[in-house]
Chains A and B, each alone.
Chain A
C-alpha cells in the first residue's frame, strides 16, 4: 500500500470515529420516544435546514450528479434542477401543514381522520419500500467510494480477494457501521451528524469549485469548452441529449421511448421529495410550523448553492480528469468528484501527497454524507415499523415508549440487512439514477395520499390504502420489468431478460396511477368521510392549534 493511500485511509477513519463519537454523545441525551423519533423537537429552523440539506446532499447529489455531468455533460444538470425544484412542492403544500397535524411520521397525518390500522400498515409498507430503494443507492455510492480509496480495480486482486468480492465486502462494512449509528443514536445523533457533515460538505464543495474555476481563470466558458473537447463529443456535450432522450436514427419507437423516459424522470424528481419519508419526518424535529417553514427555506438556499457547485464539479471533472479515467474506475461515474479532488490536490497542493490529502478529505466527507443519510433513512423506516405498525396496528396502542424504541432498533437492523443485499446487485448503476427510482416510488405511493388527506374533504380510508398500494405496486412492478433490473448491460441481472416496460423510470405511469387509485378508492367506497374529523384536521393544519 502506498503512503498516499495509507494517509487517505487514516484520515478517513479519523473522520468516521469523530462522527461516531458525536452519535454516542447524542445517545446519552436520548431519553424518550420524542427524543428518539424527533430529536426532542429542539432544533432551530437553521439547524434543521442544515440537517435537511445534509440529508439531501447525499451520495446522489455529490457523487451521482457530478458523475453524470462528467460523463454525459448537460443531461446531468437535469437531475440538479429536478431535485431542487421539488422543494417547492414541499414548501408550498406539505411542510407546515404536516408539522401541525402530526406527531412523528407521515402516517400520523394520514391516520388522523381515517381508520388507523389499514392506513398505518400501508404507510409503513410504503415507507420501508421507498427507504430500501434510497438506501441501496447510498450503499452503492459508498461501495464505489471505498473501493476507490482502497484501490480496488478491475483485473487486480486486493488482499487476496477478487475486486468483486472486495466490493461486496465494503458494502457489508458500510451497512454494519450504519446499523451502529442508528441503533445507538436515534434522531438526535443522526441530526447532529447531518449538521456537521453538511457544513463540511459545503466547505469541501466550495473549495473544489474555487480550485476548478481558478484552473480556468474563472472563465466559465473556457471550462465548458475544455470539458466538451476532452469528452470527445464536442459541442454536443454541452447540450441535452447525450444520455436522455437519445435520438435513435431509423427507430422511431425507441426515440419516442427515450424522450418519454426523460419526461418520466423529470416528473419523478419534482414530485418525489415531498413524499420521501425521511424528509417528511424532519419536519417534526422543530418546535412549530413556522420553524418548519424556516428549515425548508434554509434547506432550499443550501441545496440550491450546492447544486450550482455540482455543475462546476461535474464539468471540472470532465475537463481535468476526463471521462475515460473516470469510467476506468467506475463505469457509472460515481467516483468523478473524488477523482477530481485528487487531481486538484496534485495540482495545487503538491504532487501525489497533495492529491492524497484532498482525496482523503473529500472522500471522508462524502462517506460521512452517505452514513448520515443511511442512518436517517433507516431511522425513518424503523420509526415507521415501530411507531406506525407495531405500536398502533399490532399492539393497538398498548405499548410503552421503551418498547417502541426497542422495536425501532431491531427494525433498523433488519432493514439495513435487506438494503445491503440489494446493493450488492445494483453496483453497476449510477447513484443519482437509483435515487430517482426511489423518488418515483415515493411520488407514486406517498404523495397522492398526503395531498388528498390534507386538501380533499371526501377522502376515505379505502382511498388512502388504494392510493398507497396502487402507486407503490405500479412503481415497483414497472421497475422490476424495466431495463434496470434485466435486459441491459448495467442491469441488476444482466444475464437475464424479462423486461417489457421500455422506460428506466416509471414515474410518468405510476404517479398518475397513484392519484387515480386514490380517487377511485374514495368515490367507489361506501364509507363516508368524517366531517368533524376533517374539520379538525383542516383547522389544526392551517392554524397550528393543538400541535405537538
Chain B
C-alpha cells in the first residue's frame, strides 16, 4: 500500500474501517455510478459557484483600485457606488450561502446518506 510507517490506529486519520469493509471496497464504491452521481452533484455546484463569487469579488477589488471616479459617483445623498457595491458583496454572500444550504440538503445529503449506509453495512449490496 502506501509508504507510511505502520502506526497503530489511534492517531491516524481514520479509525479502523467499519467492520467488514476491505479497503478495496472503498475503491468499488468510488467507482460505482451512484458515487459518481454524488461527486458530480457536488462539484458541478461548488466549483462554478466558487469561480463566480471569486470573479465578482475580484471585480469589486479591481474597481476599487482603478475605477475610482465611477466608484465615487453619488447615488443618494452621501451614499456612493462604492458603498452600494460593497453592500452588494454582502448580499451575494448571504445568497450563495443560502443557495448552497438548500442544494446540499435537497440534492447531496440524501445521496450521501444512502452511500454511507452502503459502506458501513460492509460494502455489500454493491
Residue ranges of A at the interface with B (Cβ–Cβ < 8 Å): 74, 77-78, 80-82, 84-85, 87-89, 91-93, 101-103, 108-109, 111-117, 219-222, 224-225, 228, 235-236, 238-241, 244-245, 259, 262-263, 266, 270, 290, 293, 297, 300-301, 304, 307-308, 387, 391-392, 396-399, 461, 527, 530-533, 535-536, 538-540, 542-546, 548
Contact A539 to B78, CB < 8 A, known contacts A89-B50, A270-B54, A533-B2: no
Cross-chain pairs A/B with CB under 8 angstroms, 22 sampled = A78-B86, A91-B97, A102-B13, A103-B13, A111-B13, A112-B14, A115-B3, A115-B4, A224-B77, A225-B77, A239-B72, A240-B71, A240-B82, A263-B61, A263-B65, A396-B7, A397-B12, A532-B27, A536-B14, A540-B26, A544-B116, A546-B18
Contact at A239–B79, with CB atoms within 8 Å? no
A542-B49 Cα distance, complex, nearest whole Å: 18
Chain A residues near B120 (CB, 8 Å)?
Answer: 545-546
A238-B104 Cα distance, complex, nearest whole Å: 39
Interface: B68 (CB within 8 A):
yes
Query: What's the dominant secondary structure at chain B's contact region?
Result: helix
Chain B residues near A548 (CB, 8 Å)?
Answer: 14-15
Contact at B50–A88, with CB atoms within 8 Å? yes
Contact A225 to B78, CB < 8 A, known contacts A116-B4, A543-B119, A545-B120: yes
Contact at A532–B119, with CB atoms within 8 Å? no
Name the one of A80, A82, A220, A239 contacting B68, with C-beta atoms under 8 angstroms. Answer: A239
B97 to chain A: closest residue by CB: A300
Question: 8 shortest A-B CB distances, which residue pairs?
Answer: A221-B77, A397-B7, A535-B30, A545-B119, A266-B61, A224-B78, A240-B64, A112-B13
B70-126 interface with A by 8 A CB criterion: 71-72, 76-80, 82-83, 86, 89-90, 93-94, 96-97, 100-101, 104, 109, 112-113, 115-116, 119-120
B41 to chain A, nearest CB (A): 10
Interface size on B, residues (CB 8 A): 68
B88 to chain A, nearest CB (A): 10
A393 to chain B, nearest CB (A): 10
Residue ranges of B at the interface with A (Cβ–Cβ < 8 Å): 1-5, 7-8, 10-15, 17-18, 21, 23-24, 26-27, 29-31, 35, 38-39, 42, 45-46, 49-50, 53-54, 57-58, 60-62, 64-66, 68, 71-72, 76-80, 82-83, 86, 89-90, 93-94, 96-97, 100-101, 104, 109, 112-113, 115-116, 119-120
Chain A residues near B31 (CB, 8 Å)?
Answer: 535
A88 to chain B: closest residue by CB: B53
A225-B77 Cα distance, complex, nearest whole Å: 9
Contact at B64–A93, with CB atoms within 8 Å? no
A301-B97 Cα distance, complex, nearest whole Å: 9
A538-B96 Cα distance, complex, nearest whole Å: 24
Chain A residues near B57 (CB, 8 Å)?
Answer: 81-82, 85, 266, 270
